Amino acid sequence: MILRSIIILLCLSFSSLSSFAKPNILLIIADDMGLETSRCYNVGSQQAKMPYLEQLCASGRVYEKFYVAPVCSPTRATLMTGKYGFRTGVGSAVSPDNPNGLSDKEVSLFDILNDAGYASNIIGKWHLASPDEGLDHPKRLGVSDFYGLYSGGTKSYTQMRIVENERRKQVTGYATSVFTDKAISWVNNQQKPWFLWLAFNAPHTPFHAPPENLHSYGKLSTEKRDMRRNRITYYNAALQALDTEIGRLLRSMSQETRENTILMFMGDNGSPNQIAKDVYGARGAKGGIYEGGTHVPLIVAGKGITKGRSADLINSTDLYATIANIAGAKSQAIDSISFNATFHGGKNERKFVYVEHFANSAPKGKGSHGWAIRDSRYKLVAQKGKAKALFDLENDPFEKQDLLQQDMNQAKAIALKLENFKANLK
């Protein structure tokens, strides 16, 4: 039944639509969702059942080599600008210790989509500036109707302080459902092609018990002690709740809207270390520049997308040019390469992916600072304070064996090639 409904939701239909109609674009971002969380990827064995997402994977295109920054603010900055963090100055999570947000002088994704005649909006998490920079920061970057969490998270999933119309507002209700309700209302009110950046805060901490009707884990205790003991259960329940609400959003759309929409689903960085440690071990997850922190899901489905899997290298910066290409907008972002050709099984032009994690102030908290760069097979990691390490991801996907420790001439040549890629990023 779910498969049938998803096919109906997202199948192609040219009988009622002009083939030249500009498509709507729905970008859904899950907060702290690494590769090992999704059954669309064969990583680990602790995934939640997410039937709607899994059917999007079955009907659309699954990207196997998609990379982001290891924490949320720099990933969102790459999406917004099509630039690596060292160009924008956003290299770690915006916080009181690291207050420098994204400059409103950047030409944002919303600026170019607005110029292309699209209605556009962000609902959900912002986290690209501190409140000290003003609650109109989204508007200055082209987002005229922002609604959601301004900073990195919320202490409660049922009591949130959000920003709406540049004003603080207290909201009650389950966060994932609140943002879905707002998205449904906004989409149904659009009269022209639209782009919606729907940034859920789920499954980001705090671990919590979602409403029972949104998941299959039964009546979960609300005691903090039980949440600490069974974190993966609560985390997976939040993922299932997210999946349920994505299904509700899709069902709410008219047939004409569904048939003319491209949906992109992604994680913004790796899963929390409490969740991913059994998969990635000492290399860590969120906050680290290794695979667990930067290798995340990306699924594209809907109008004009050929189902299948893609092993093309994709950087988070690339969504800028790709979305612009879909909308017929002009993109000049120097670090962004459109991967539209892969929608139909073609090849992407990108030869390497690059990730980084840095702070403008002294690094604080967990995680690893530095940079990493990979080609189709090998990855060079330059963690601050440690010797560079080289991994063969084709045969060692969990980065357990540093090839440079074997004193191999071939490994040194591969590392030099990757360093040359890095050196050309100017």
**DSSP H or E segment with residue 258:** helix 255-259
SS (H, E, C) 95-141: ECCECCCCCCCCCCHHHHHHHCCCEEEEEECCCCCCHHHCCCHHHHC
C-alpha–C-alpha distance, residues 169 and 183, integer Å:
18
DSSP designation for 54: H
Confidence at residue 4, expressed as pLDDT on a 0 to 100 scale: 53
Mean pLDDT value of segment 382-395: 96
Q: Which two tokens stand for residue 69?
A: 């920054």
Chain-wide mean pLDDT for the chain?
Answer: 93
pLDDT band at 363 (very low <50, low <70, confident <90, very high): low
Which DSSP string do the residues of 167-182 spell out, in sequence order? Answer: EEEEEES-HHHHHHHH
Confidence at residue 78, expressed as pLDDT on a 0 to 100 scale: 98
Instruction: Summarize pLDDT for 174-213 with one digit per residue, the tens.
Output: 999 999 999 999 999 999 999 999 999 999 999 999 999 9
Confidence at residue 55, expressed as pLDDT on a 0 to 100 scale: 96
C-alpha–C-alpha distance, residues 158 and 94, integer Å:
23
C-alpha–C-alpha distance, residues 52 and 352, integer Å:
31
pTM: 0.94
Q: What percent of the chain is predicted at pLDDT more than 90?
A: 87
Beta strands 24-30 and 159-164 are unpaired
Domains in the chain, please, with CATH?
2-356 (3.40.720.10), 375-426 (no CATH)
Angle between helices 72-81 and 318-327 (to 10 degrees): 40
Instruction: Summarize pLDDT for 125-162 with one digit per residue, the tens.
Output: 999 999 989 999 999 999 989 999 999 999 999 999 99
Residue 275, pLDDT above cutoff 70? yes
Mean pLDDT value of segment 14-39: 81
Sequence-ordered list of residues with C-beta below 8 angstroms from that of 105, at least 6 positions apart, any chain: none
Judged by phi (left if over 0) then psi (alpha if -120 to 50, else beta), residue 192 lies in: beta
- Listed range (92-101, 230-239, 240-249, 257-266) with the worst mean pLDDT: 92-101
Contact yes or no for 148/213 (Cβ under 8 A): no
Higher pLDDT, 84 or 44: 84
